[in-house]
Amino acid sequence: MKIWLDGGLRDADGARVSVFDHGLTVGDGVFETLKAVHGRAFALTRHLERLTTSARGMGLPAPDLDEVRDGCAAVLDANPMALGRLRITYTGGLSPLGSDRGDNGTTLVIALSETAPRPDTTAAVTVPWTRNERGALAGLKTTSYGENVVALSRARELGASEALFANTVGALCEGTGSNVFVVLDGELHTPPLSSGCLAGITRALTVTWAGAKETDLPLDVLERAEEIFLTSTLRDIQAVTRIDGRQLADRPGPVTAEAMRIFAERSAADIDPRC
């Protein structure tokens, strides 16, 4: 396996990042995960725009997007596979122990692993912890993923693949690595970015392509929604058939199925959709 590390391809077994890298010691970094289909990264331009936005929000220097593109292409060419998870990680680099950032430059790692298509349906749970929609990292895709690790572990213990959060005012927000959509009276809704959720790439495409409304929703909307689905880079659109103790239909509902059809059709037609 070959990865990209700070300007060139390396053997994964021999690649090294300092134990003093700020991404390791304090989570000072941002990242993107992309779906790669037969060596082509989906929605690369949108992901790089979000990488830049997240870096700016963290106070990191803007990443060199030409290098990131070159690195993605090199890693994809070096590791052929039908379906992959392409991960771009960009950190504060070698730094002193503590929160202060060093002046040694940033670290860029691009890696790829093989993955399998997701099933059409899954189960999710709600968790008692909240997203802080007013926090410094709200809406940024950072490597500070401790909350997600804890919440996803809870979901796995309960036989689910995703955990859903409310925000500090009790509004539905997002999952640990997904955005959430609900169907109410036959209409498709998803929380707005002001809820503190990540500006998901698949979320944005689904809003545009399937005509979803961005709506402030209480967490208990999950108890009455006719349909629920999750979106993410590797899930695409995935129906939720069980939420906590509530059983929904055992297959995607009609609105979800139509959104899945539209997304599959549009994403297959354009590997780098801008709108």
**Cβ-count burial 92-117 (b if 16+ within 10 Å, e if not):** bbbbeeeeebeeeebbbbbbbeeeee
- pTM of the predicted model over 0.85: yes
Query: How many other C-beta atoms are found inside a 10 Å radius of the C-beta of residue 186?
Result: 10
Per-residue tens of pLDDT for the chain, all 275 residues: 999 999 999 999 989 999 999 999 999 999 999 999 999 999 999 999 999 999 999 999 999 999 999 999 999 999 999 999 999 999 999 999 999 999 999 999 999 999 999 999 999 999 999 999 999 999 999 999 999 999 999 999 999 999 999 999 999 999 999 999 999 999 999 999 999 999 999 999 999 999 999 999 999 999 999 999 999 999 999 999 999 999 999 999 999 999 999 999 999 999 999 97
- As a whole number of angstroms, the distance between CA 238 and CA 259 comes to 10
Backbone region of residue 147 per phi and psi (left: phi > 0; alpha: psi in -120 to 50; beta: other values):
alpha
